[in-house]
Structure 1
Amino acid sequence: MNLNKEYWENRYQNEDTSWDTGSITTPLKEYIDQIKNKDLKILIPGAGNSYEFDYLIANGFKNVYVIDISSHPINKLRSKNPKFEKQILIGDFFKHKGAYDIIIEQTFFCALDPTLRNNYITKMNDLLKPKGKIVGLLFNFPLSSEGPPFGGSIDEYQNSFSKLFTTKILEKAYNSIKPRLGRELFFIFEKK
């Protein structure tokens, strides 16, 4: 399976988006609700329909960027948020340049081919400012070749991220949406 731009465009055009929750998920909403500094520079990679972007903008955050390889969800997002069009990017995350305080992870890591996981971790490190954080959700079920999504475990994630990041939180999400209950880990990894 080649998880390239065409693959994702086809999934969106055929409305084959079973991962799409239709709104921001509770763990991310509750995390965002406690952020006081609305000037933080935030990136949401592999954004898809990015309900997180909509929620952040609606709550006064103006320095929020999204990137996705697929034009379909990005064009939808741009039409809903024309004032932020320059912050809604079509492109390859691995070629993106920037410096962010927070990167929000919502189904992107587990949608990538597992062979790209080390590249993802390195790129996240490159995109974060000193002491910057990756915050979000990772799937908590066995990694297999069936996917996306591709799973993983607390031990796998801890081992993979620990070279470049300090684990602040990595635990079962207690407030997952019903279809994902018991299958998600909430995490905060801080750049070393």
Structure 2
Amino acid sequence: MHNQEESYWTTRYKEHSTGWDIGYPATPIKTYIDQLEDKSIKLLIPGAGNGYEAEYLLKKGFTNVHILDISEIPLQEFKKRNPTFPDTHVHHANFFELEGQFDLIIEQTFFCSFVPTVENRAAYAKQMAALLKEKGKLVGLWFSIPLTDDLEKRPFGGDKTSYLNYLNPYFTSKTFEPCYNSIPPRQGNELFGIFIKK
């Protein structure tokens, strides 16, 4: 899956077919970041793309931010914009093969980016838990749109119940509700969640 996924996303970036890229940090995630007080926590943003949320974290003074993407192109763009960002915090890798321990993982609709088989979605939940320290948090946005049989059309959808079925074995849900402050094009199509590792 790794090589196919890398080729797919790299092609999308090369062709500038990046409709998901809003060009700034998503409002719900920005709002969540604004209330975080400990700037030393170790954070991961998987499927970070151009890394606008990571950039915002840097501006807010967070010192231990890591970004991951399966395509090297957006990571290179991020590094151009943020030349002092540590190379060791930029992970050109397959999320499912990453190792490490984080206090917080920010989910920016990454769940909806890969082929939505039961195996992949179960592996996502398991890997998220494995990457978090004890009582670590998984926080962010999940698309609340129908999941169809079209495996070419991304983002892949899902609903609150199906997401919880995957996440509940590993996480306690603090909140998981329709997002009140989505950007206008995504209004009514996002869930905001805060999950704590069991």
Query: TM-score under structure 2 normalisation?
Result: 0.94
User: In angstroms, what is the RMSD of aligned CA positions?
Assistant: 1.3
In structure 1, the gaps of 5 or more residues are: none
How far apart are 1:145 and its partner, in Å?
A: 2.8
Q: Does 1:180 align with 2:186?
A: yes
AA aligned to 2:186 is R
- Check the 8 A contact 1:77/1:88 in 2, yes or no: no
- Check the 8 A contact 1:3/1:113 in 2, yes or no: no
Deviations 1:33-82 (A, max 9, x none): 00000000000001101100000001000100001010110001111112
- Secondary structure of the 1:82 match is coil
Q: Does 1:148 align with 2:150?
A: no
Deviations 1:64-109 (A, max 9, x none): 0001010110001111112213211211111111100000000210
Distance in 2 (CA, whole Å) between partners of 1:79 and 1:167 is 37
How far apart are 1:148 and its partner, in Å?
A: 1.2
Structure 1: 4+ residue segments shifted above 4 A: none
How far apart are 1:3 and its partner, in Å?
A: 5.2
Q: Tell me the equivalent position of 1:19.
A: 20
AA aligned to 1:164 is Y
In structure 2, the gaps of 5 or more residues are: none
Q: How does 1:23-172 map to 2 (within 5 A)?
A: 23-84=24-85, 85-115=87-117, 116-146=120-150, 147-172=153-178
Distance in 2 (CA, whole Å) between partners of 1:119 and 1:73 is 24
Distance in 2 (CA, whole Å) between partners of 1:140 and 1:46 is 18
- Secondary structure of the 1:188 match is strand
How far apart are 1:191 and its partner, in Å?
A: 0.4
AA aligned to 2:44 is L
**How many residues are matched?**
192
Distance in 2 (CA, whole Å) between partners of 1:86 and 1:80 is 16
Query: TM-score under structure 1 normalisation?
Result: 0.97
Distance in 2 (CA, whole Å) between partners of 1:78 and 1:90 is 12
Partner residue of 1:189 out of 153, 172, 195: 195
